[in-house]
Amino acid sequence: MQKTILIRYKPHAGQLEFHMCPARFRVLDCGRRWGKTIAGANELIRQMWTQGPNIVGFAVAPTYWHTKRQWTEFFNFCPAELIKEIHRSDRHVILKGNRNIWFKSADNPDSLRSQGVKVLWVDEGAQIAEEAWTLALRPALMDEKGIAFFTGTPRGHNWYFRLWTRGQDPSQMEYKSWNFPSASNPYLDPAEIAAFARDMPELAYRQEVLAEFLEDVGSVFRGVDCMVQGSFQPFERHKQYVMGADLAKLEDFTVLCVLDMDGHLCAFDRFSQLDWVFQRKRIVQLAERYNARLLIDSTGVGDPVCDELYRENVRVDGYKFTNATKKDLIENLSIMIENQQLTIPQVPELINELKLYGYKTTPSRNVQYGAPEGYHDDTVIALALAAWQLKRAPPPGRGAVMPY
């Protein structure tokens, strides 16, 4: 008779439902901090022990860092009496009865190819490439008719969503899936969720906390293709214009965007010279040409830059970036794009930066807007600074732009 092993783990109601379900493929879709990793680690211990001796288990996560979390939680709960050998450098554990567990990162899909995996746990599956599942992990389960369970927060409508959808269909007997918001973890202080959610845009909140599968999330601006219309326009005497400028810092570009009061991008300039005299000249020229009121990213450069432009007769104000003011600026741009209040000519670098612009939740669980690693965001910021001035503009026909 098999010995009963006691694990010091008290699952909450949602975790218990997951543990008790006998489906071969289980998909837990939950908000951040719900207890996904803890539940997955405990399920791994349980399944490795009950599925028999001489078996192989895989614990997979998107990155090396994530597998470390799985590894840590596994050892937080695994009773010492079950463990035979630990090979830290290979992330390989052997439990008694020749039960082998490898902790693997999915950023190298080839390393996931295997045979005869009996127990598979994938944490944060939505962040793993589809091929890792279809070409490597799913076939590995075939020989031994292995079981798999997935824990994660959603990331749009990808393969993880499709797998989860199967689990919602009662006719798919082998699949079962759940959706739990962060708040259903009773061990989590509601104040912690509130603090986490405070700086989040609506969509991020729905994805990260409510665990909804949303389209287009991760990208901040929706409807970018719809805003591409018309061409650049010369100055017209009866019209008013606003301009946004993002100054080149270390290795990026200075970008200038001029909008008319209808929200059309009439002029766009982008150059990489860092020399301030050169930058100033170009800014002054464009502002003069359109008689535009200018809002400039003055973070780090301070008031002297505005003063100098002012002395050149440019109507200029500075916009200082903090996490909060950047959020306001970007969210205004996002709303205006979504409401189709802005149009731009075919400017590939602007269109691409808008499409790539995203948000991420930091390890300390704050929301940060920005371009992905290795990409620029200066065209987005310049457009956002121009659009910010339209936000406060009186309805068309009522005259001048209000000061902000």
**Structure tokens, 286:** 């464009």
> Residue 208, CB half-sphere, CA atoms under 13 Å: how many?
22
Nearest distance from C-beta of residue 55 to ligand ATP, angstroms:
24
Q: How far apart are CA 231 and CA 365, in angstroms?
A: 41
Question: Which residues in the 158-197 window bind ligand ATP by CB under 6 A?
Answer: 185, 187-188
Nearest distance from C-beta of residue 183 to ligand ATP, angstroms:
12
**Structure tokens, 400:** 């001048």
- From the list 29-37, 129-137, 266-274, 391-399, the region that binds Mg ion by CB under 5 A is 29-37
Q: How far apart are CA 198 and CA 196, in angstroms?
A: 6
- From the list 5-13, 37-45, 319-327, 353-361, the region that binds Mg ion by CB under 5 A is 37-45
Q: How far apart are CA 338 and CA 356, in angstroms?
A: 16
Residue 244: Cβ within 10 Å count:
27
Which residue's C-beta sits nearest to Mg ion?
37
Q: Is 153 in the site for Mg ion (CB under 5 A)?
A: no
Nearest distance from C-beta of residue 155 to Mg ion, angstroms:
14
Amino acid at 9: Y
Q: How far apart are CA 104 and CA 122, in angstroms?
A: 9
Largest CA distance in the chain: 92
Among 26, 29, 31, 37, binds Mg ion (CB under 5 A): 37
- From the list 11-19, 196-204, 219-227, 368-376, the region that binds ligand ATP by CB under 6 A is 11-19
Q: Is 15 in the site for Mg ion (CB under 5 A)?
A: no
Nearest distance from C-beta of residue 202 to ligand ATP, angstroms:
19
Residue 61 vs 380, nearer CB to Mg ion: 61
Give the E-state strand segments of 278-388 in sequence order: 293-297, 316-319, 358-361, 367-370
Q: How far apart are CA 153 and CA 28, in angstroms?
A: 8
Question: Which listed option, ligand ATP, Mg ion, none, makes contact with residue 188 (CB within 5 to 8 Å by class)?
Answer: ligand ATP
Residue 65 vs 375, nearer CB to ligand ATP: 65
* Sole residue written with tokens 């996904």: 36
Nearest distance from C-beta of residue 70 to ligand ATP, angstroms:
9
- The site for Mg ion, by CB under 5 A, has a size of 2
Q: Is 33 in the site for ligand ATP (CB under 6 A)?
A: yes
Question: Which listed option, Mg ion, ligand ATP, none, makes contact with residue 33 (CB within 5 to 8 Å by class)?
Answer: ligand ATP
Q: How far apart are CA 391 and CA 333, in angstroms?
A: 9
Question: Which residues in the 306-365 window bind ligand ATP by CB under 6 A?
Answer: none
Question: Which listed option, Mg ion, ligand ATP, none, makes contact with residue 207 (CB within 5 to 8 Å by class)?
Answer: none
Contacts of 66 (CB under 8 A, 6+ apart): 105, 123, 124
Q: How far apart are CA 173 and CA 70, in angstroms?
A: 28
Nearest distance from C-beta of residue 78 to ligand ATP, angstroms:
15
Q: Is 32 in the site for ligand ATP (CB under 6 A)?
A: yes
Q: Is 125 in the site for ligand ATP (CB under 6 A)?
A: no
**CA distance readout (Å), 228 to 73, 225, 232, 341, 379:** 49, 6, 11, 12, 15
Vertex 273 angle, CA 271 and 278, to 5°? 100
Q: How far apart are CA 96 and CA 82, in angstroms?
A: 6
229 with 355: CB under 8 angstroms?
no
- From the list 36-44, 197-205, 345-353, 354-362, the region that binds Mg ion by CB under 5 A is 36-44
Question: Which listed option, ligand ATP, Mg ion, none, makes contact with residue 249 (CB within 5 to 8 Å by class)?
Answer: none
Residues forming contacts to ligand ATP in the complex (CB under 6 A) are 9-12, 15, 30, 32-38, 153, 185, 187-188
Residues forming contacts to Mg ion in the complex (CB under 5 A) are 36-37
